[in-house]
Amino acid sequence: NGDFGDLVYKFNIDALKKDKDYYFKINNIPSIFLGMFSDAKGKWVKIAHKEETDDDEEESYSFNPLQFIADGFSGNETLYKENRTEIIGLLKKIAQFADEEKLFLFKEKPSVEKVDGRELYKYALTLNKPAILPFYQKLTEEAKKTKNFHELFKDPAVIKYLQSEEFGEFFNYYNENINITLWTDKEGYPAIVQYKVRLIPTDEAEQLKDKQANLVIALKISDINKPVIIEAPKDATDIEKIGGG
Banded pLDDT at 122 (limits 50, 70, 90): very high
Average pLDDT rounded to a whole number, residues 150-154: 87
Query: Sorting pLDDT into bands at 50, 70 and 90, what band is 210?
Result: confident
Asked if residue 245 has pLDDT above 80, the reply is no
- pLDDT tens for 106-121 read 999 999 999 888 999 9
Residue 98's pLDDT band (cuts 50, 70, 90)? very high
Mean pLDDT of 6-11: 73
Q: Which of 190, 222, 186 has its CA nearest to residue 125?
A: 190
CA 94, CA 135: separation in Å to the nearest integer?
A: 8
Reply yes or no on whether the pLDDT at 212 is more than 80: no
In the chain, count of helices (H) and strands (E)?
Answer: 7, 12
Q: pTM here?
A: 0.67
- pLDDT of 234 higher than 60: yes
Please report the pLDDT score of residue 138 as a whole number: 96
The per-residue pLDDT for range 53-85, each reduced to its tens digit, is: 445 554 544 556 666 666 666 667 777 777 888
Sequential DSSP letters for 155-192: -THHHHHHTSHHHHHHHHHHHHHEEEEEEE-TTS-EEE
When pLDDT is cut at 50, 70 and 90, the band that residue 158 belongs to is very high
Confidence (pLDDT) at 169: 93
Largest CA distance in the chain: 60
